[in-house]
Structure 1
Amino acid sequence: MTNDVQVEAPQAPPDATPTFAMLRTLGGISLISGLLVVLAYQFTLPIIAENQRVRTEQAVFRVVPGAVTKRDFVLTDAGLAPAGEGVQGELIYAAYDAADQLKGVAITGVGNGYAGPVTVLFNYDPACQCIVGSKILQMTETPGFGDKMETDPAFLENLKALDAKLNADGTALINPIVTVKNGSKTHPWQIDAISGATLSSNAMGKAANTAAQRAAPAIQRDLAKLTAANHTGQD
């Protein structure tokens, strides 16, 4: 007796996905994703810019008491230039009172502290060639020590008339601003350090010196641009 053995026919392999179709699908997904990213960026960019403008304005008005309007300038090799005219460089902020009189110029400096960079906005008074106020914009210093630079009354006295006078050529400070050991201040261009927070105090001194060395010569040279009666305030 013969047993019939059924042999299954080999199954055909599934059709492979055409390479072109797969690449086309992936390309379409990438294109859509990229388009969504661009649209999101373009949508949020004005919001981010407006938030930054408001934060900057608030900081300027806080560091320059009595100011109600400001005008932005750029530090260039040729001097001060109004911002928004295609020039690139560091910004400074001329602040004016309700009578359109210059109240001060907000300038920015950075110094390295214990835990990283300390960014500070200073109020530079062109009349006395001195720094008369400060506001810390960013820092990562140890709480309880670094924050004393904004709360310690004795330390803040350093920044009520910190000397930043220029040399005879008007190109640099006569005396660089420096931080000295607590209780050893003898000159108006020195900052008396906070006891126990010397490195943070040093950062403030470096930031003040950096800001004044860069900005003061240009401010004094182009002071007429800042005090011109026909300036246009910028909110």
Structure 2
Amino acid sequence: MNAELTAPQTTPTAAMVRTLGLVATICGLIIVGAYQGTYEAVQANKRLALEREVFKVLPAARTMGEFVALPDGSVRPAGGETPAGAVKFYAGYDDKGELAGVAAEGGAKGYADTVRILFGYQPACQCVTGFGVVAMRETPGIGDKILTDAEFRASFKALDAKLAADMKALANEIKAVKHGTKTQEWQIDAIAGATITSRAVGKAINDAAQALLPRLVPNLDKIKEKP
């Protein structure tokens, strides 16, 4: 007796492609919907975290205003479209509405990832008087000592950020130096064992200050009182 062999049924390629395409589309819509649904909340949380850091690095401030320093050297309140090359910064005001200092963001490559910081600047002394961390993923117990190490943070009591005579750049580059070798007011005493992260903080502040201060300092009268 001859048995009839029946070939196994196969799913047509076109139908399989359509099914996979439908699944991919549905997954894509779910992902996009979840992103859009949480985007505003995420941005609001980031904004609140940033504001908290502004008031930490400018402890005398009670309110703040957001500004941009434009490539043409001018300064104006933030809002609307921000031109390419503009530098955003925050002016803090005391309870009398007078300028209590300026805060600006910066970032540089650390040991694990980019270290994003916010530093406080005082026009009266032309110096950096504090910094906070906006985001980092440095090694716990090593790189994150930038938040707690007393000697490291002492460098920011009055870190020199004066402009050169031509007002086009800092007179001296702000940078971290090997622990125990700090001799100048523009140097940061690095943390032993966390030199890379320490240098990232110095570079982040230096790069941001080099971009911002030549535009800001000549225009301090435009931000000295809360708008």
Greater mean alpha carbon deviation, residues 212-221 or residues 76-85:
76-85
Alignment of 1:14-163 (within 5 A): 40-78=34-72, 79-88=74-83, 89-163=86-160
- Which residue identity is paired with 1:71? G
Pairing 1:210–2:207 present: yes
Q: How many residues align?
A: 224
Bigger Rg over Cα: 1
Greater mean alpha carbon deviation, residues 159-168 or residues 206-215:
206-215
Cα deviation, residue 80, structure 1: 2.0
Cα deviation, residue 37, structure 1: 6.0
SS at 1:227 equivalent: coil
Cα deviation, residue 111, structure 1: 2.1
- Structure 2, unmatched stretches of 5+, are 1-13
Cα deviation, residue 223, structure 1: 0.8
- CA deviations 1:186-235 (Å, max 9, x no partner) are 11001111122211211111112112111111220211121135x1xxxx
- Which residue identity is paired with 1:226? I
Which residue of structure 1 lines up, in the alignment, with residue 9 of structure 2? none
Alignment of 1:151-190 (within 5 A): 151-190=148-187
Q: Give the 3 Å change call, closer, same or farther, for CA 45–188 of structure 1 in structure 2.
A: same
Partners of 2:99 and 2:225 within 8 A in 1: no
- Which residue identity is paired with 1:47? A
SS at 1:92 equivalent: strand
Cα deviation, residue 43, structure 1: 3.9
Cα deviation, residue 173, structure 1: 0.2
- Structure 1, unmatched stretches of 5+, are 1-18
- Which residue identity is paired with 2:209? A
**How far, CA to CA, are the matches of 1:115 and 1:36 in structure 2?**
32
- CA deviations 1:131-182 (Å, max 9, x no partner) are 0000011222221121221111111110110000001121100011121111
Question: Structure 1 length as normaliser, TM-score?
Answer: 0.79
Q: Identity of aligned pairs, percent?
A: 47
**How far, CA to CA, are the matches of 1:147 and 1:208 in structure 2?**
17
Greater mean alpha carbon deviation, residues 48-57 or residues 210-219:
48-57
Partners of 2:98 and 2:225 within 8 A in 1: no
Q: Give the 3 Å change call, closer, same or farther, for CA 41–204 of structure 1 in structure 2.
A: closer
- Which residue identity is paired with 2:132? K
**How far, CA to CA, are the matches of 1:163 and 1:227 in structure 2?**
21
- Which residue identity is paired with 1:83? A
- Which residue identity is paired with 1:52? K
**How far, CA to CA, are the matches of 1:199 and 1:50 in structure 2?**
31
Q: Give the 3 Å change call, closer, same or farther, for CA 25–184 of structure 1 in structure 2.
A: closer
**How far, CA to CA, are the matches of 1:181 and 1:85 in structure 2?**
43
Question: Structure 2 length as normaliser, TM-score?
Answer: 0.82
Q: Give the 3 Å change call, closer, same or farther, for CA 185–43 of structure 1 in structure 2.
A: same
